[in-house]
């Protein structure tokens, strides 16, 4: 796979799978306002996914549109990071995932908005504003839960511990990509450690750093997610919706 | 889908036209000086005069206790319907067949949560809290619309819900834009505008399916077959059996009878079904030249009563789902409250 195509596809897949997981919260959130907020963030992620996947399809030049890429690839062909495919868990796990994802996407899209590729720059410029909102929302909840009750503190710390190992993969070096994620790690660490400190939570230490998503080597969760997401589209080959 | 298929609906006198007219009337009513009851004046007479003059009753006004109770019940049940109504459609978000459809459906279900919030806020102006109302829903003491106790078995059901269920809701709610209670009327204006958009989207889903492959077409017809009568039943029992009607009409909470609204809905749907190329599942549906309206077979009101009393296909599941979400989220709400209290006490400490 060529550089820009693989990179654009990877970012599109991150956003698509994150949207699918966030949308699972619809009708299940702890309060009505949060139902709206999570749907809102899911919609932003889905919007970014559609722009990225459409552009990836153009870069590839094989006639695949956003739907062909979303619905007609198997899990071995998906390029999303492992973090976004992890199950939602409780609300604390979801907020931990959202904090890490948005603290990664914000500097990534910001750098992208300044890259030489005009299409990617435009997508980055739009998505970065949304990521800033996602980061605020997640940070607010991580603080509320971290500093809320003893139970919420315990769950929030556990949530962070559970997803922290998956951070490593986000910043693996990709020198030939339009933005090398390795250059964004310091920014991420600064933001996340400040939020966790304010939330009276500790930054986990983990020697275990699972990876493989960018090579299509996923956790066992992704295949189930795709089975559900793709079932109707695949049952009616060639149909328009 | 904008334009052609809904010709007549946007025309002056059409449903959206009525919403706009109601909005203009609200503005005029707000500008008119309706005076205030003198200290000696009988409050009940003043209330009646305001309602008779098509002015709005506002939260600060005196109102009969029964008027307040009726409105709380009606607005709360409307709010509950928005919240429970997220479930049947939410059921298809993860499986929506294209990314565009997924985005539209997600936005729609999000709008419904927003409508629930407006409506709970309108009910709160009557002196009850949202927490109390949610408790009334969860304990089964207040109801929600019977329609949401039917399952969404295929993707076409998402289209049928948009077209028929949202369509019936609009026909029901447009007259409420002129309801005598100001906060409810204003909420209905906002809700109707968004619902009308949802209805078009649902119709467009069915239109695409009905003009797609033979399997898609069959899916669309099957959805219409299953949703037609439950949608007609949404207007409630026939006029003779409706318990709240007379008083609600006198108070201008309700402005048309159940049967009048149901007729209006049927008359509206027939042409739309023809454009879809789908068949309404009623062999006795035909134009009555004398009445200038369609004759049609009434829904099974015994079934409606069974569903309302808790024995529809999904009543148990819908309630269990809502209770589960509420209970699973309790620790989060407690944490938010504890955090807010800590922040408030920090702010009070002088530095």
Confirm whether A127 is domain-assigned: yes
Q: What is the CATH number of the domain that holds B177?
A: 1.20.1260.10
- The single-letter DSSP state of residue A187 is H
Query: pTM higher than 0.90, yes or no?
Result: yes
Q: What is the dihedral of CA A111, A116, A119, A124, to 10 degrees?
A: 10
b/e sequence B106-145, b meaning 16+ C-beta within 10 Å? bbbbbbbbbbbbbbbebbbbbebebeebbebbeeeebbbb
Residue A153, phi then psi, degrees to nearest 5: -60, -45
Give the nearest partner residue to B103 out of A43, A91, A231, using CB atoms: A43
- Chain A contacts in chain B segment 291-330 (CB below 8 A): 321-322, 324-325, 328-330
Structure tokens at A8: 């654009």
Report ipTM for this prediction. Answer: 0.98
pLDDT at B133 over 70: yes
The shortest C-alpha distance from A75 to chain B (Å) reads 16
Q: How many domains does chain B have?
A: 1
Comparing CA positions, the residue from A8, A204, A164, A166 lying closest to residue A85 is A166
Confirm whether B179 is domain-assigned: yes
Confirm whether A8 is domain-assigned: yes
Rounded to whole angstroms, the Cα distance separating B31 from B10 reads: 27
Q: Are B217 and B181 in contact (CB under 8 A)?
A: no
Confirm whether A241 is domain-assigned: no
| Range from A169-178, B42-51, B133-142, B271-280 carrying the lowest mean pLDDT | B42-51
- What are B293's strand-pairing partners? B288
CA angle B299, B304, B308 (to 5 degrees): 160
Residue B226, phi then psi, degrees to nearest 5: -85, -30
Domain range enclosing B42: 15-302
Confirm whether A21 is domain-assigned: yes
Q: What is the mean pLDDT of residues A35-46?
A: 98
CB atoms within 10 A of CB B245: 17
Comparing CA positions, the residue from B83, B153, B75 lying closest to residue B323 is B83
- The single-letter DSSP state of residue B30 is H
Q: Are A36 and A103 in contact (CB under 8 A)?
A: no
Q: Cβ separation of B155 and A66 shorter than 8 Å?
A: no
Q: Are B126 and B203 in contact (CB under 8 A)?
A: no
Q: How many domains does chain A have?
A: 1
Domain range enclosing A188: 3-202+211-235
DSSP chain A: --HHHHHHHHHHHHHHHHHHHHHTTTTTSSSHHHHHHHHHHHHHHHHHHHHHHHHHHHHHTSS--HHHHHHS--GGG----HHHHS---SHHHHHHHHHHHHHHHHHHHHHHTTSS-HHHHHHHHHHHHHHHHHHHHHHHHHHHHHTS-HHHHHHHHHHHHHHGGGHHHHT---TTSSS-GGGGHHHHHHHHHHHHHHTT------S-----GGGT---THHHHHHHHHHHHHHHSTT---
Q: What is the mean pLDDT of residues A204-216?
A: 96
Q: Cβ separation of B332 and A241 shorter than 8 Å?
A: no
pLDDT at B1 over 70: no
**Selected residue of B214, B332, B340 to mutate for chain A interface (largest A Cβ count, 10 A):** B332
Q: Are B256 and B179 in contact (CB under 8 A)?
A: no
Say what the pLDDT of residue B351 is. 57
Q: Helix and strand tally (H, E) in chain A?
A: 10, 0
Rounded to whole angstroms, the Cα distance separating B109 from B82 reads: 9
Say what the pLDDT of residue B10 is. 47
Q: What is the CATH number of the domain that holds A67?
A: 1.20.1260.10
Confirm whether B147 is domain-assigned: yes
Structure tokens at A37: 């907020």
Give the nearest partner residue to A43 out of B106, B155, B208, using CB atoms: B106
Number of CB pairs, chain A paired with chain B, less than 8 A apart: 141
Q: What is the dihedral of CA A105, A121, A67, A10, to 10 degrees?
A: -50
Confirm whether B29 is domain-assigned: yes
B44-83 pLDDT, tens digit per residue, is 899 999 999 999 999 999 999 999 999 999 999 999 999 9
Confirm whether B285 is domain-assigned: yes
Rounded to whole angstroms, the Cα distance separating A39 from B104 reads: 11
A223-235 pLDDT, tens digit per residue, is 999 999 999 999 9
Residue B136: CB partners within 8 Å, gap ≥ 6? Answer: B76, B142
Say what the pLDDT of residue B33 is. 67
pLDDT at B37 over 80: no
A4 vs A55, A58, A169, A184, B325, CA distance in Å? Answer: 10, 11, 19, 18, 42
Say what the pLDDT of residue B4 is. 34
Q: Is B288 helix (H, G, I), strand (E, B) or coil?
A: strand
Q: Is B38 helix (H, G, I), strand (E, B) or coil?
A: coil
Comparing CA positions, the residue from A176, A108, A94 lying closest to residue A138 is A94
| Range from B173-177, B209-213, B244-248 carrying the lowest mean pLDDT | B244-248
Confirm whether B145 is domain-assigned: yes
The answer to whether B218 contacts chain A (CB < 8 Å) is no
b/e sequence B148-162, b meaning 16+ C-beta within 10 Å? bbbebebbbbbbbbb
pLDDT at B3 over 50: no
Q: What is the mean pLDDT of residues B135-144?
A: 96
The answer to whether B32 contacts chain A (CB < 8 Å) is no
pLDDT at A97 over 90: yes
Q: At what angle do helices B258-276 and B214-233 cross, to 10 degrees?
A: 170
Structure tokens at B188: 């209905």
Comparing CA positions, the residue from A231, A222, A230 lying closest to residue A67 is A230
Say what the pLDDT of residue B57 is. 95
Mean pLDDT score across all residues of chain B: 92
Say what the pLDDT of residue B242 is. 75
Report the percentage of chain B scoring pLDDT > 90: 82
Give the nearest partner residue to B110 out of A40, A143, A231, using CB atoms: A40
Q: How confident is the model at residue B246 (pLDDT cuts 50, 70, 90)?
A: confident
The shortest C-alpha distance from A140 to chain B (Å) reads 10
Number of residues assigned to chain B: 351
Q: What is the mean pLDDT of residues B88-110?
A: 98
Residue B244: CB partners within 8 Å, gap ≥ 6? Answer: B70, B254
A164 vs A43, A101, A152, A189, CA distance in Å? Answer: 25, 11, 18, 12
- The single-letter DSSP state of residue B298 is P
pLDDT at B8 over 60: no
Residue B41, phi then psi, degrees to nearest 5: -70, 145
Rounded to whole angstroms, the Cα distance separating A107 from A100 reads: 12
Which residues in A lie closer than 8 A to residue B336 (C-beta atoms)? 31, 144, 148
Which residues in B lie closer than 8 A to residue A240 (C-beta atoms)? 208, 212
| HSE toward the beta carbon, residue B298, CA cutoff 13 A | 13
Comparing CA positions, the residue from A101, A53, A70 lying closest to residue A228 is A70
Confirm whether B328 is domain-assigned: no
pLDDT at A121 over 90: yes
The shortest C-alpha distance from B97 to chain A (Å) reads 5
Q: Cβ separation of B332 and A30 shorter than 8 Å?
A: yes
């Amino acid at each position: 796979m060529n550089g820009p195509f693989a990179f654009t596809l990877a970012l599109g897949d991150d956003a698509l799978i994150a949207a699918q997981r966030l949308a699972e919260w619809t009708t299940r959130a702890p309060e009505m306002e949060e139902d709206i907020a999570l749907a809102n963030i899911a919609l932003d992620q889905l919007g970014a996914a559609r722009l990225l996947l459409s552009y990836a399809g153009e870069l590839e030049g094989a006639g695949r549109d956003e739907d062909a890429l979303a619905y007609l690839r198997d899990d071995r062909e998906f390029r999303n990071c492992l973090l976004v495919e992890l199950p939602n868990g409780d609300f604390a796990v979801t907020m931990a995932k959202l904090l890490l994802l948005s603290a990664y996407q914000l500097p990534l899209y910001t750098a992208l908005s300044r890259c030489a590729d005009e299409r990617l720059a435009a997508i980055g410029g739009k998505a970065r504003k949304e990521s800033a909102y996602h980061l605020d929302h997640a940070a607010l909840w991580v603080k509320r839960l971290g500093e809320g009750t003893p139970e919420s503190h315990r769950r929030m710390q556990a949530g962070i511990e559970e997803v922290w190992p998956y951070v490593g993969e986000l910043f693996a070096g990709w020198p030939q990509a339009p933005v090398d994620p390795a250059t964004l790690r310091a920014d991420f660490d600064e933001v996340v450690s400040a939020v966790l400190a304010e939330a009276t939570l500790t930054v986990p230490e983990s020697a275990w750093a699972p990876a493989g998503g960018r090579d299509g080597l996923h956790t066992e969760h992704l295949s189930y997610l795709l089975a559900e997401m793709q079932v109707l589209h695949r049952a009616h080959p060639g149909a328009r919706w | 889908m904008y334009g052609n298929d809904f010709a007549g609906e946007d025309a002056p006198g059409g449903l959206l036209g009525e919403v706009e007219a109601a909005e203009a009337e609200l503005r005029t009513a707000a500008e008119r000086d309706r005076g205030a009851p003198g200290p000696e004046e009988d409050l009940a007479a003043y209330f009646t005069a305001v309602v008779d003059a098509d002015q709005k009753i506002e939260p600060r006004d005196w109102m009969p206790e029964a008027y307040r109770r009726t409105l709380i019940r009606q607005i709360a049940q409307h709010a509950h319907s928005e919240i429970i109504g997220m479930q049947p459609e939410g059921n298809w978000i993860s499986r929506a067949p294209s990314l565009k459809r997924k985005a539209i459906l997600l936005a729609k279900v999000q709008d419904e949560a927003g409508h629930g919030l407006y409506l709970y806020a309108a009910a709160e102006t009557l002196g009850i809290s949202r927490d109390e109302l949610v408790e009334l829903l969860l304990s089964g003491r207040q109801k929600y619309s019977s329609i949401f106790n039917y399952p969404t078995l295929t993707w076409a059901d998402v289209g049928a819900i948009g077209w028929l269920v949202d369509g019936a809701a609009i026909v029901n709610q447009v007259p409420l834009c002129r309801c005598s209670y100001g906060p409810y009327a204003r909420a209905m204006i906002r809700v109707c505008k968004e619902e009308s958009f949802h209805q078009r989207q649902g119709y467009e889903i069915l239109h695409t399916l009905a003009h797609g492959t033979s399997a898609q077409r069959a899916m669309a017809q099957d959805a219409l077959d299953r949703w037609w009568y439950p949608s007609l039943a949404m207007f409630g029992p026939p006029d003779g059996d409706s318990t709240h009607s007379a008083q609600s009409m006198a108070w201008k909470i309700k402005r048309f009878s159940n049967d009048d609204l149901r007729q209006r809905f049927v008359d509206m749907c027939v042409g739309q079904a023809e454009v879809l190329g789908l068949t309404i599942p009623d062999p006795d549906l035909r134009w009555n030249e004398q009445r200038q309206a369609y004759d049609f077979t009434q829904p099974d009101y015994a079934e409606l009563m069974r569903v309302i009393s808790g024995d529809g296909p999904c009543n148990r599941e819908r309630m269990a789902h809502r209770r589960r979400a509420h209970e699973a989220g309790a620790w989060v709400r407690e944490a938010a409250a504890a955090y807010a209290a800590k922040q408030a006490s920090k702010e009070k400490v002088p530095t």
